[in-house]
Amino acid sequence: MSTEQEKQVSDTLARLDAAASAGDVEAIRVEALGKAGWISALMKTLGKMTPEERQSEGPRIQGIRARVADAIEAKKTALEAAELEARLATETLDLTLPAPSVPKGSVHPVSQVMDELSEIFADLGFSVATGPEIEDDWYNFTALNMPESHPARAMHDTFYFGDNHRAPNGGKMLLRTHTSPVQIRTMIAEGAPLRIIAPGRVYRSDSDATHTPMFHQVEGLVIDRDIHLGHLKWTLETFLKAFFETDDIVLRLRPSYFPFTEPSVEVDVGFAIENGKRVLGGSGDAPGHGWMELLGSGMVNRRVIAFAGLDPDEWQGFAFGVGVDRLAMLKYGMDDLRAFFDGDARWLSHYGFSGLDQPTLSGGVGAKA
Amino acid sequence: MKFSLEWLKHFLETEATVEEIAAKLNAIGIEVEEIDDPAAKLAGFHVAEVLTAAPHPDADKLQVLTVNTGEGEPLQVVCGAPNARAGMKGVLGLAGAVVPANGMVLRKSAIRGVESNGMMCSVRELELGDEHDGIIELPADAPVGTAFADYHNASPIFDVAITPNRPDCMGVYGIARDLAAAGLGTLKPVTAPDIAAQAPCPVKIRTDDPEGCPAFYGRVITGVTNGPSPDWMQQRLIAAGQRPKSALVDITNYLMLAFGRPAHVYDLAMLTGPVVARRAVDGESVKALNEKSYTLDSSMTVIADDAGVHDIAGIMGGEHSAVQDGTTDVLLEIAYFDPEQIGVTGRKLGLATDARTRFERGVDPAFLDDGLAILTDLVLRLCGGTPSEVVRAGSPPNAPKVVAFDPAMTAKLGGVEVPAQEQKRILEALDFAVDAGWNVTCPLRRHDIEGPADLVEEVVRIYGIDNVASVALPRAEGVAKPTATPQQQLERRVRRAAAARGLNEAVTWSFLPVPDAEHFSASAPLWVLDNPISEDMKAMRPSLLPGLLAAAKRNADLGADSLRLFEVGRRYLRSADSSSAEHPTLAVLLAGEKTPRGWATGKATLFDAYDAKAEAEALLAEAGAPVANLQVMGEAGPQFHPGQSGTLRLGPKTVLARFGALHPATLATFDVDGPVVAVEMYLDAIPAKKGKSGFAKPHYAPPALQAVTRDFAFLVPAGLPAGDLLRAAKGADKVNIVDARVFDVFAGQGVPEGKKSVAVEVTLQPGEKSFKDDELKAISEAVVASAGKLGAELRG
């Protein structure tokens, strides 16, 4: 290589190294590789050479060209990167500033618990049944073995509609005092065998710290040929263990009285007091423990089965009813029933559930706090 | 019902502890609500003797006593009671004791400069009665130093709930019988004393109302002396929550609480002529023992004489013939009243009494003569006097129920194997008679026994319901099917979708103030409660919006700037046949700020009708409604802003939802500041998915070729709904046009008066081949022509 060319190459590389802008690089490129550039001129000399000369000079000149071209490309890339970096530096955002907020919705605890119950009982083969909340007294009382004069009727604190609201059958219209009329309606509509739960709103003319005139109940009913008290006990145990997601649920059955069941059983659940709050678990007879009345249940009274059009000599079964709001409070820690129906957005956000907290058996039906 | 352990033990021989008794009561169906132990309350109080009493040097009404406590030196006690004197015995509370009546802790102190080491107590201070004129005076033989609780026989008190089917347990004896059957002790049988009548009965009695009063027995006792009843009786009555009145009254209460058997005592001097059970005459009135007058009607049974009504049968006695301190001759009444009729009368009069509770549930028809004998015996023992013969009118029901029982029923229904012999023992211990063929004759007092299931209950509760073992429900064969109906699944789905969209689910009352309900019911009749708990909860809601509006008001009052509420629940309407029509509904209410003021967005933005539309469409889509096919029409109802609301309809008639801004008048009615926008979605109007094809979706392969868009700027009449223009654009070529959307609406400068400019982007989807220029031109022309029919012209 001629020293002159060698110098030109090193000269070009040095200038490239010093170039501060894309324009400088372009100028150097034009000088070297442009149409009138010195490397382009060198390339043109190849055409006039003999094949032998070309064989030795060709690679050399190509080498010069490649070295310079590569250096230009590298410098360009480096300059672009620096330029980008400089631009990005001006684009810095304060990411401690708040992002646009997306409102967070919630599912009401009553709905959540009802979905949980549906899930648990679906696993036990129970369908979900519904019925009207504005009932007539035949379904709410008579068919449940509470005839007109029955003292238990008076104990129900019933809301009635006036005489201009008579039922098509002439009966008195009222707000159902329990979900039990759904038993009758479902037995009449679907016959036996039957396994249902019936969650919904119920009404009693009662209002204090622990009672609201509207609340929620879930009814359970199993009708088959050989269902007995032992099945009732198992079902309640299984349901409560699944609902509270603990095996440590101890039930105490107490004989009681409901007109629509015989035998009738009141069910208590053992609890302990922890930090002033009742926590379910353990036997109520254990030290520091107590029993809490949780639900009423029993074997469906023969008369009720007959009222519902089934043969009580063939079919028997059990029924139970439990307060949904109460279950929600016990599980999720609310302490004021009245707040359930206030629609206070702060309460709803705090005690509500994400729409994605869909209860599933595989994930556990409860939503952990 | 309350009773003391001491009273229970009067009927039951048992060594069981209070805890064991309580556990057994619960186990057999007599729920123990509370146990009160007065002995614990009386700790620190002792029998003491006053040795000396001297006037207080510095106070007129006080004395300084020295009191012998039975051990150590006598104590000095300052006392204000006028009856305190040397030699008397009383009850001394020592330092540290807590006065039951007021919770005061006694301590050594100086009273007006004189040291006092305790307190001599009154009856009221120890909660033993009302008396407080002086300190308790104990008999001279009271042993000094004895704990007063022991001396007083303070006995634990059980408070139990008796279920309405067991009136036979509304007396201590009945409870003792159940406990004995359950193995907790031995029943001490009560035998009615033989009363030797010493005179014919001077009063004639009869029943003219054999329906309401099938049996009326009585007897006169002359020459009685009324006065306070003895301590043992008073203690039992006080423990049971009854205030002792006079011996004659206390005796009837005692009979009721011991045997569940109400009876009545009349002052014979106040009666004239025969005493008759009859129906009241409409409008007849009586002044009852509670000093209130009751107007009666002919459905009610009364006990009356020639002068008038003396007793609302089975419920409450009359004031006129009530026994007094000076009463000398009495008529005892023990009757059997029809339970149903007592209930009806009691409800009509709004009169709840212990007697009614028992008669209404059914007293023992076999306990008239024995009850009368026990009553007579008590009167003779406590008040003296001369008994007449018993007179009887009518007879109580006396046909016992016989139930054909199969002991195998106990396992079949009760789920527990109880040996037949044990079942027989249990039934017999409860006074059922069991013959060889298991025909079970029920005692007359057990009105609750209807059939075999009731006997199973008797056996199981006495045998021990704890012995019922859990048995798993058999699992249904095969794969589980869905257990929720499509409607239920729809409700769950929209609920969770709404929550996921940032809305908070509320649960509001089903009942509303009538004006609020009327504001939301166009003309349909409402369900209005006859006996609401308050005027605010009177009419069943015809819409979910009033409840949410009331909640919005409460939230706003608490300072909320922004509210996103929804509810899934029923609207209550009336069907043509006046039965209940309850429609599952979802309502959304958005109030106040949609976005708060922000560093990036500037001022807060407020909700408007389009936000309501967005929620309606999104939730309808989640509900499976064909949102793209829905028409936006008017008539959202007068509760909505007439120009900023609409309905979403499937076809012209089926309204799936209404939405929009609420009318200012609605906001004024609910006292809420705007803007408030809302949606009401009718879940039962949404057509169910037709699942006939199963789970597979219709076939689809994404087109290989890119979609093309074409923009059109139209000048249209200002009143033309953009939706119509879009429909026209889409309809221009149903094969190639897959979408059309408005991307600009403008009126004003450059747009002629009465017109607006609407810019539409039309999306074209090529199939196998790309569109050729002339095809695109033809489609564009079709769009323009179709829009032209609505008066739209392409802007130049």
A135 touches chain B (CB under 8 A): yes
Q: Find out whether B757 and B746 touch, Cβ atoms under 8 Å.
A: yes
Residue whose pair of structure tokens reads 């589980």 in the numeric block: B480
Q: Are B483 and A344 inside 8 Å of each other by CB? A: no
DSSP state of B167: G
Residue B573 one-letter amino acid: L
- Sign (positive or negative) of CA dihedral B619, B621, B624, B629: positive
pLDDT band at B691 (very low <50, low <70, confident <90, very high): low
In this structure, the answer to whether residues A196 and A296 fall within a common structural domain is: yes
Fold category of B40-151 in CATH = OB fold (Dihydrolipoamide Acetyltransferase, E2P) (2.40.50)
**What pLDDT is recorded for position A266?**
95
**What pLDDT is recorded for position B484?**
86
Spatial separation of the C-alpha atoms in residues A307 and A223, rounded to whole Å: 14
DSSP state of B771: P
Spatial separation of the C-alpha atoms in residues B263 and B370, rounded to whole Å: 12
Residue A212 lies in a domain: yes
- Look up residue B772 and give its two tokens: 């050729």
pLDDT band at B385 (very low <50, low <70, confident <90, very high): very high
**What pLDDT is recorded for position A3?**
75
> Cα B427–B373–B314 angle (5° rounding)?
80
A256 touches chain B (CB under 8 A): yes
Among the three residues A59, A90, A121, which one is the final residue of a domain in this structure? A90
Note the pLDDT tens digit of each residue in B330-370.
Answer: 999 999 999 999 999 998 999 999 999 999 999 999 999 99
Q: Is the pLDDT of residue B693 over 80?
A: no
Among the three residues A37, A56, A90, which one is the final residue of a domain in this structure? A90
CATH of the domain at A315: 3.30.930.10
Residue A302 one-letter amino acid: R
Spatial separation of the C-alpha atoms in residues B102 and A15, rounded to whole Å: 105
State pTM to two decimals.
0.86
Query: What count of residues does chain A have?
Result: 369
Q: How close does chain B come to A123, measured CA to CA in Å?
A: 8
Binding-face residues of A in 190-249 toward B, CB within 8 A: 195, 201, 203, 205-207, 213-214, 222, 226-235, 237-238
Q: Using N-to-C axis directions, what is the helix angle for B247-259 and B354-361, rounded to 10°?
A: 40
**What pLDDT is recorded for position B485?**
86
Q: How close does chain A come to B507, measured CA to CA in Å?
A: 5
Q: List the one residue out of B135, B154, B52, B42 whose CA is nearest residue B90.
A: B135
In chain B, residues under CATH classification 3.30.56.10 are 2-37+156-187, 402-464
Chain mean position to CA B308: 40
In this structure, the answer to whether residues A131 and A69 fall within a common structural domain is: no
Q: Which residue of A has its CA nearest to B506?
A: A343
Q: Which residue of A has its CA nearest to B344?
A: A149
Nearest by CB to A255, which of B465, B475, B568? B465
- Look up residue B598 and give its two tokens: 């922000």
Share of chain B above pLDDT 90, in %: 77
Residue A101 lies in a domain: no
In this structure, the answer to whether residues A335 and A226 fall within a common structural domain is: yes
Q: Find out whether B595 and B605 touch, Cβ atoms under 8 Å.
A: yes
Q: Which residue of B has its CA nearest to A355?
A: B496
Q: Are A257 and B164 inside 8 Å of each other by CB? A: yes
Q: Find out whether B539 and B513 touch, Cβ atoms under 8 Å.
A: yes
Note the pLDDT tens digit of each residue in A97-118.
Answer: 999 889 999 999 999 999 999 9
pLDDT band at B158 (very low <50, low <70, confident <90, very high): very high
Looking at the domain covering B205-394, what would its CATH class be? alpha beta
Residue A54 lies in a domain: yes
In chain B, residues under CATH classification 3.30.70.380 are 708-794
Q: Using N-to-C axis directions, what is the helix angle for A38-47 and A22-33, rounded to 10°?
A: 20
- The neighbour count for residue A184, using CB atoms within 10 Å, is 24
Mean pLDDT of B670-680: 94
Q: Find out whether A248 and A281 touch, Cβ atoms under 8 Å.
A: yes
Q: Is the pLDDT of residue B479 over 70?
A: no
| CATH architecture observed for domain B402-464 | 2-Layer Sandwich (3.30)
Looking at the domain covering B2-37+156-187, what would its CATH class be? alpha beta
Cis peptide before A103 (omega within 30 of 0): no
In this structure, the answer to whether residues A51 and A122 fall within a common structural domain is: no
Note the pLDDT tens digit of each residue in B311-333.
Answer: 999 999 999 999 999 999 999 99
The most confident of the ranges A34-38, B154-158, B439-443, B594-598 is B439-443
Q: Which CATH number does B708-794 carry?
A: 3.30.70.380
* Exposed / middle / buried, residue B340 (Cβ in 10 Å: 0-12, 13-18, 19+): middle
What homologous superfamily does CATH list for B486-685?
Bira Bifunctional Protein; Domain 2 (3.30.930.10)
Spatial separation of the C-alpha atoms in residues B390 and B263, rounded to whole Å: 14
Note the pLDDT tens digit of each residue in B14-52.
Answer: 999 999 999 999 999 999 999 988 888 888 899 999 999
Spatial separation of the C-alpha atoms in residues B508 and B547, rounded to whole Å: 6
Spatial separation of the C-alpha atoms in residues B728 and B738, rounded to whole Å: 13
A299 touches chain B (CB under 8 A): yes
Q: Are A203 and B501 inside 8 Å of each other by CB? A: no
Q: Are A356 and B496 inside 8 Å of each other by CB? A: yes
Q: Is the pLDDT of residue B523 over 80?
A: no
The low-confidence residues of chain A, meaning pLDDT below 50, are none
Q: Are B554 and A118 inside 8 Å of each other by CB? A: no
- A-chain CB neighbours of B564 within 8 Å are 103, 105, 345
- A-chain CB neighbours of B572 within 8 Å are 133-134
Q: Which residue of A has its CA nearest to B554?
A: A344
Q: Are A343 and B565 inside 8 Å of each other by CB? A: yes
Note the pLDDT tens digit of each residue in A57-82.
Answer: 888 888 888 888 898 999 999 999 99
In this structure, the answer to whether residues A186 and A281 fall within a common structural domain is: yes
Note the pLDDT tens digit of each residue in B405-464.
Answer: 999 999 999 999 999 999 999 999 999 999 999 999 999 999 999 999 999 999 999 999
Note the ipTM here: 0.89
Note the pLDDT tens digit of each residue in B531-558.
Answer: 999 999 999 999 999 999 999 999 999 9
Nearest by CB to A231, which of B415, B466, B496? B415
In this structure, the answer to whether residues A255 and A323 fall within a common structural domain is: yes
> Which residue of B426, B507, B589 is the best one to mutate when testing the A interface, meaning the one whose CB has the most A CBs within 10 A?
B507
In this structure, the answer to whether residues A70 and A146 fall within a common structural domain is: no
Residue A359 lies in a domain: no
Nearest by CB to A97, which of B560, B562, B599? B599
Residue A96 lies in a domain: no
Nearest by CB to A355, which of B415, B497, B560? B497
Nearest by CB to B499, which of A121, A256, A355? A355
The two beta strands, A194-203 and A127-128, are: parallel
Residue A102 lies in a domain: no
Nearest by CB to B28, which of A103, A125, A255? A255
In this structure, the answer to whether residues A113 and A83 fall within a common structural domain is: no
Residue whose pair of structure tokens reads 């025909």 in the numeric block: B439
In this structure, the answer to whether residues A79 and A122 fall within a common structural domain is: no
Q: Find out whether A353 and A106 touch, Cβ atoms under 8 Å.
A: yes
Q: Are B568 and A98 inside 8 Å of each other by CB? A: no
In this structure, the answer to whether residues A257 and A327 fall within a common structural domain is: yes
Mean pLDDT of B374-400: 95
What residues have CB less than 8 Å from A280, skipping those under 6 apart?
A: A244, A246, A249, A269, A270, A271, A292, A330
Average pLDDT of chain B?
Answer: 92
A106 touches chain B (CB under 8 A): yes
SS3 A326: helix
Spatial separation of the C-alpha atoms in residues A33 and A39, rounded to whole Å: 6
Residue A298 lies in a domain: yes
Residue whose pair of structure tokens reads 């060709």 in the numeric block: A58
Q: Are B457 and A263 inside 8 Å of each other by CB? A: yes
In chain B, residues under CATH classification 2.40.50.140 are 40-151
Mean pLDDT of B391-397: 94
Residue A100 lies in a domain: no
Segments forming the whole domain that contains residue A227:
109-351
Nearest by CB to B506, which of A134, A206, A343? A343
Q: Are A175 and B529 inside 8 Å of each other by CB? A: yes
Q: Are A98 and B565 inside 8 Å of each other by CB? A: no
In this structure, the answer to whether residues A134 and A276 fall within a common structural domain is: yes
Residue B229 one-letter amino acid: S
Spatial separation of the C-alpha atoms in residues A205 and A213, rounded to whole Å: 5
In this structure, the answer to whether residues A118 and A75 fall within a common structural domain is: no
**What pLDDT is recorded for position B376?**
97
Q: Find out whether A266 and A293 touch, Cβ atoms under 8 Å.
A: yes
Mean pLDDT of B116-140: 86
Q: Are B468 and A253 inside 8 Å of each other by CB? A: yes
Please tell me the total count of domains within chain A. Answer: 2
Q: Are A105 and B504 inside 8 Å of each other by CB? A: yes
Residue whose pair of structure tokens reads 């009751």 in the numeric block: B294
